[in-house]
Structure 1
Amino acid sequence: MSKLPFLRIDNIRKRFGSIVASDGVSLEITEGEIHSLLGENGAGKSVLMSMICGMVRPDEGEIVYKGQSVRFNSPREAIRQRIGMVHQHFMLVPNLTVAENYILGQGSALGVINDMNKVHETIRALSDRYALDVRPEARIEDLSVGEQQRVEILKALFHGVDLLILDEPTAVLTPQETDRLLCLMGDLVKDGKTVVFISHKLDEVMRVSNRISVMRDGRVVHTIDARETNARDLARMMVGRDVRMELPRSPSSPGRIVFSVENLVCRGEAGLPAVRGVSLNVRAGEIVGIAGVSGNGQTELSLGLSGLLPISSGRVMLNGEDITGLDPARINARRFSHIPEDRHKHGIVMPLSLSENTILQRYDQKPFATRGMLNRRAIGEQTRDLIKRFRVKCRDEDQPIGALSGGNQQKLVVARELARNPDFILVNQLARGIDIGAMEFVMEEMLKQRDNGRAILLISTELEELFAICDRILVMFHGEILGELPPDRSRLDELGLLMAGNKEQPALAG
């Protein structure tokens, strides 16, 4: 392994308006290593790598690649220099085949079309070499999310990259697919490639990395050899304090059925069934998780249960009352709280203040209003109390919520929904966009709610989140509940098979 930097980043700065995305980043990548870039959402990882691969231009600083100063004006220029990036959100055209996606923008259309047999041969050869199982004639829209991930990786290899950047590549994979990808990264390094692995998952970073750099607030704050650290130390580097890796929790004592769903059917945006006959119960004093790869009906299930998406058929019961088909306002009038997947669309109003967002569902109720007049003192006291309890970083309660970081917005949404004293809490992606320290805090709050007799349905693509606080885990695939498992990490393989659609597993928990 060469000791000279394969890639050197010197004092890179990038602003988007008032937002500082990169604040003087310096970093060195060694040829032939897996270098992990670790950090929470908003730390600046993806923006930094986007500057390296030509999608974003830095305002200041220098990028030195293979000994030469470079500044790419487009991803095509970066690919010509053998740098490729697989983005968290795929860059594929759904109605084209794999091979057609690979040749987009590659010179003369007539010449490429005449050479399609060679393109297919190259794809098959690379697919066989790295055991990726990519079919050149397959149409992208017919592939699963995991298959599309492999298509994206092979696309970079098809263009002959020496430096491969993977941005949160395991976020949409089953456990088995994740294992396969981590092994692939090792194979690529053996073949002389250099890999940058962007992630926030400590266990995966520890499994594959040679070196690890930790980013926080647009800067690299630590770079360390993977053999000289551990997950606990990395968490401390990310947050700046000790973080508990396991949350203490008491055994659950489920009581009466608070919330039930019977044979629910909902249609997605295209009018096709997205939720296909889902039935489930949630009891007082338990947290029921729903696991699954993103895109398997979880979003539509959440929106249907909260009144934000029409229900085609089936029944939803809360405290013995049929609430099927009620609009969000009438559902909110009941003891039902909702922490949505998309907080910007369904959770907050960006231009409004923290105080105004705190009372969105209760602006006409005591103590926040009397005879149609807002009680500013009561609203302010409530908001300040929630800000303090949930450690929301802000100027004051009058600051527009849109000026806060995503993590602090999420904490205020969680605080507001728990303050409504619900019997049932619907949560979709609890810890999305918040740092590992805040994640520890909000999960502890959920456990307190459970211990106080609340019924909680937690939808998440993060298995560690589900294992940490759930009492039962249901697995959703193609809009159906395929099985149920206890939160037992030793049964991760069973869980992964269910997430991939394997119905043959003996997956019902006792």
Structure 2
Amino acid sequence: MELELRGITKRFPGVIANDDVNLTIKTGEVHALVGENGAGKSTLMNIMYGLHHADEGQIFIDGNPVTFETSGDAIAAGIGMVHQHFMLVPVFTVAENVVLGVEPTTGPFGKLNTAKANAQVEEISAKYGLHLDPEALIESLPVGIQQRVEILKVLFRDAEIVVFDEPTAVLTPQEIEEFFNIVESLKASGRGIVFITHKLTEALKVADRISVLRRGKTVGEADPAEIDEVGLAELMVGRPVQLVVDKAPPQPGEAILSVDQMHVVDPTGRTLVDHVSFDVHAGEIVGVAGVQGNGQTELVEALTGLRDVITGSIHLGGDDITHATPREVHSAGVAHIPEDRQRAGLVGDFSVAENMVLTRYHDDEFSTGIKMDWPKARTVAADLVEQYDVRTPSIQTPAGTLSGGNQQKVIVARELSRDLQLVIASQPTRGVDVGSIEYIHAQVVKARDEGAAVLVVSTELDEVMALSDRIIVMFRGRIVANLRRDETEHNDIGLYMAGAKEQPVKTETEKMA
């Protein structure tokens, strides 16, 4: 099967998302589609999948023109899509999600034939090495397994071409390797794979061909055997890109954040953060490494007032903030870049300007009593948009319509554009393109160099290694290592992350005693 997109143009108010784009996808190969946030990758795939309709251009299958009015038309034509944000029903089982819409039924009233659905899912799961339990509830499964369910949904509908939109954005390193094995299996079975990604190393590793979009246009096609990461980044961004974090040696000062024996549990009493102790000093970046689900999320929530601390203490600049509210923590000079920008960082229906002052609207700078000074807020927002290179048609544009990287820049701009003692950045570049990664990393380093203490939490080990001056590793809610970056290698951290190695951990204050 050969799928061709010819002369595709798609306009939205104030922006041309796709501008005369041509793309050919063939079965039996992996075709990577790369580009900055807002380059038009997802829009192009949504047109191919029938979710959007092109203003100009045509789709061809094996040389014959086709029209997809809905995604159902695309599915019927043999096209499947695994979205970046999974479309699963949490309270349904694996099998119920896979067969949803095409359920095998029994009896006069069309009751779901659960046994047949389970058997079908088991059969196709085994065929492609996905190893899924058809009776498992989605809400009980880790992210990597949920992604397999999405893949199985596509295969169940006999897709010949499968589109993956940022498929590794929320996966651990181990899950990424497993995903690549699945991609190879799909390719070997004769399916065509479209791999949308920001991660250039992954595109070079897995693709047979790479197409590059920039600001809605196709700017080139590359052979992974003939181009490296630096060349691909420059083609994608249109300028040389610094792929290595440029930072001077740290000049750590006094301890700004001191955490002592902090213990956090869930509503059932299950331990999430197990008596952790550590310090973060002014002028240093401490990275938190670990496989997703080992307490990093709950650690950040406790530090920012979003989750109760059962025992232990948190001190900021000498002040006890153990039981402070999120507003009190923020007002004390703590910036928080949350791990999920859509759920915890932005209000998508609010404008860029409104989101820029979302955590400060009550300050004297922007309000008098109950009255907002909107001219002032808009002026500040416009300045931040320019200063932090947020690409938006207007400060009145709803933030939810921006690309992922530009949404992240809105949050970074809002959080870092004030006097700070501490920066807590959780997954700061998740799902962000290489150009935006370069920029966000530079802002984090700048905050450190201006004297703030910085805590970076990331499941991207390369990011932790690149940014950090010191690294702590979490495993099953505990800190199992506290390491100097310049004395640490990837393999060592990997052993700590897997729980295969542990060191006695002391706080920096204890080490200096």
Q: TM-score, length-normalised on structure 2? A: 0.82
* Post-superposition CA distance 1:66-116 (Å, at most 9, x none): 333223344443333322222222222222222222222215521797865
Q: What's the offset of the Cα at 1:49? A: 1.8
Q: What's the offset of the Cα at 1:352? A: 7.1
* Post-superposition CA distance 1:335-378 (Å, at most 9, x none): 3333344557766784474897399378426xx99999999999
Tell me which moved more, 374-383 or 276-285: 374-383
Task: Give the partner amino acid of 1:445.
Answer: Q
C-alpha separation in 2, matches of 1:274 and 1:43:
43
Q: What's the offset of the Cα at 1:206? A: 0.5
Residues 1:119 and 1:433: Cα distance change in structure 2 (over 3 Å): closer
Match of 1:170 among 168, 180, 199: 168
Residues 1:343 and 1:124: Cα distance change in structure 2 (over 3 Å): closer
Match of 1:31 among 24, 27, 34: 27
Q: What's the offset of the Cα at 1:168? A: 1.5
2:274 counterpart residue number: 277
* Post-superposition CA distance 1:445-478 (Å, at most 9, x none): 3223324442101123433322221123344566
Residues 1:274 and 1:33: Cα distance change in structure 2 (over 3 Å): farther
1:360 counterpart residue number: 360
User: Is residue 252–residue 471 contact of structure 1 (8 Å, CA) maintained in 2?
Assistant: yes
1:62 counterpart residue number: 58
* Post-superposition CA distance 1:204-259 (Å, at most 9, x none): 11011110011222332222222221111111122110001212333335443210
Match of 1:319 among 299, 317, 320: 317
C-alpha separation in 2, matches of 1:116 and 1:192:
30
> 5+ unaligned residues in a row in structure 2: which ranges?
507-513
> 5+ unaligned residues in a row in structure 1: which ranges?
none
User: Is residue 27–residue 160 contact of structure 2 (8 Å, CA) maintained in 1?
Assistant: no
Tell me which moved more, 314-323 or 98-107: 98-107
Match of 1:9 among 5, 12, 29: 5
Q: What's the offset of the Cα at 1:199? A: 0.7
Q: TM-score, length-normalised on structure 1? A: 0.82
Residues 1:496 and 1:58: Cα distance change in structure 2 (over 3 Å): farther
C-alpha separation in 1, matches of 2:206 and 2:467:
27
1:149 counterpart residue number: 147
1:78 counterpart residue number: 74
User: Is residue 496–residue 502 contact of structure 2 (8 Å, CA) maintained in 1?
Assistant: no
1:215 counterpart residue number: 213
C-alpha separation in 1, matches of 2:369 and 2:158:
70
1:203 counterpart residue number: 201
1:183 counterpart residue number: 181
Task: Give the partner amino acid of 1:72.
Answer: F
* Paired positions, count: 499
2:418 counterpart residue number: 420
User: Is residue 338–residue 425 contact of structure 2 (8 Å, CA) maintained in 1?
Assistant: yes
Residues 1:389 and 1:113: Cα distance change in structure 2 (over 3 Å): closer
Task: Give the partner amino acid of 2:153.
Answer: K
Residues 1:138 and 1:409: Cα distance change in structure 2 (over 3 Å): closer
2:95 counterpart residue number: 99
* Post-superposition CA distance 1:236-283 (Å, at most 9, x none): 122110001212333335443210223445577x88768433523212
User: Is residue 175–residue 492 contact of structure 1 (8 Å, CA) maintained in 2?
Assistant: no
Q: What's the offset of the Cα at 1:298? A: 4.3
Residues 1:380 and 1:23: Cα distance change in structure 2 (over 3 Å): closer
C-alpha separation in 2, matches of 1:453 and 1:136:
52
SS in 2 for 1:250: coil
User: Is residue 364–residue 372 contact of structure 1 (8 Å, CA) maintained in 2?
Assistant: no
2:40 counterpart residue number: 44
C-alpha separation in 1, matches of 2:337 and 2:383:
19
C-alpha separation in 2, matches of 1:163 and 1:489:
46
Residues 1:146 and 1:408: Cα distance change in structure 2 (over 3 Å): closer
C-alpha separation in 2, matches of 1:496 and 1:157:
33
Task: Give the partner amino acid of 1:149.
Answer: Q
**Aligned Cα RMSD in Å?**
4.0
Residues 1:274 and 1:25: Cα distance change in structure 2 (over 3 Å): farther
Q: What's the offset of the Cα at 1:8? A: 0.2
Residues 1:507 and 1:220: Cα distance change in structure 2 (over 3 Å): farther
